[in-house]
Amino acid sequence: MKVSVVIPVYNERAFIEEVLLRVQASPIDKEVILIDDKSTDGTRALLEEFEKAQSEGYREAMVQNGKARLPLENIRFLFQPQNAGKGAALRRGFEAATGDIVLVQDADLEYDPKDYPKLLEPIFEGKADVVYGSRFLGGPQRVHYFWHYAGNKFLTLLSDIFTNLKLTDMETCYKVFRREVLQNIKLKSDRFGFEPEITAKISKGNWRIYEVSISYAGRTYAEGKKITWRDGFSTLWCIIRFNLFD
């Protein structure tokens, strides 16, 4: 089974090369789909350089540190004409995916591709149609930001009340789907509302959902973390909207 790793990217120049190296190091049959959401920090220019090298027939590109080479053969580069948000970037990536399985990967170093085998195992074994990677099931993680933890737990609990699912981490980046699951869902959220929306909509289908523990190395705002308390209120509204009115 081929896996489509879909990576929405916005202003991740400091991390994107290392993320791609780690994704490419994962020993699975995969395609990598990068969607740049109109980055302004040099990320877009770098990805355009990689795309140009790929179009000129280069199979690898040297990364910034000059000590590693990034394989280019199975990467597809998509560029949003304007900044539209994570949800909009993911919709475009899902439409372009050709794999049997679709896996969402953030473009920072908070989530480690070494967890791919654990995430994919329930689907490979025929047990699951959807897998969530939970940061709250005992995996190793960097410790900080209590109120982020508390907010995530509250929003997951509220989502579980509406969906009748027993998830521990609705807001996780690591979500894996059989391709037919996404083909049966129409997504609308442009920003971080993707997380409660997709959760609400898979809960209404007859899909087998698993949750596995993952590692997590959360960033600080100084390191580039983007989600804010405003996104928390937006997520709250999305939980109500997509469970009751959509």
Which CATH number fits the domain that encloses residue 87? 3.90.550.10
Query: Is 165 contained in some domain?
Result: no
Question: 62-81: buried (b, 16+ CB within 10 Å) or exposed (e) per residue?
Answer: ebeeeeeebebeebbbbbbe
SS3 state at 134: strand
3-state secondary structure of 172: coil
Is residue 104 a contact partner of residue 199, using CB atoms and an 8 Å limit? no
Residue 176 in any domain: the answer is yes
Residue 157 counted as domain residue: no
Say how far apart CA 140 and CA 98 lie, in whole Å. Answer: 32
CA distance 166 to 92: 29
Please give the structure tokens belonging to residue 196.
Answer: 């409660």
What pLDDT is stored for residue 229 in this prediction?
A: 65
Q: Provide the domain count of the chain.
A: 1
Residue 89 identity (one-letter amino acid): A
Q: Within 13 Å of residue 127, how many CA atoms lie on the same side as its CB?
A: 9
- Looking at the domain assignment, is residue 119 inside a domain? yes
CA torsion 165→91→177→138, rounded to 10°? -60
For the chain, 246 residues long, give each residue's pLDDT as a single digit of tens. Answer: 999 999 999 999 999 999 999 999 999 999 999 999 999 999 999 999 999 999 999 999 988 766 789 999 999 999 999 999 999 999 999 999 999 999 999 998 899 999 999 999 999 999 999 999 999 998 777 767 788 888 889 999 999 999 999 999 999 999 999 999 999 999 999 888 999 999 999 999 989 999 999 999 876 666 666 667 677 788 899 999 999 987
pLDDT of 212 reads 97
Comparing CA positions, the residue from 14, 17, 11 lying closest to residue 68 is: 17
Establish if 195 belongs to a structural domain.
no
pLDDT number for residue 219: 63
For the beta carbon of residue 142, count every other beta carbon within 10 angstroms.
12
Please tell me the predicted confidence (pLDDT) of residue 232: 77
Q: Say which amino acid occupies 191.
A: R
Direct distance between the N- and C-terminal alpha carbons of the chain, in angstroms, rounded to an integer: 32
| Domain around 126 | 3-145+171-186+208-222
- Cα(49)–Cα(58) distance, integer angstroms: 11
Cα–Cα distance between 246 and 224 in angstroms, integer?
33
- Residue 218 belongs to some domain of the structure: yes
Angstrom distance (rounded) from CA 229 to CA 155: 12
Residue 92 forms part of a structural domain:
yes
Query: Is residue 196 one of the residues assigned to a domain?
Result: no
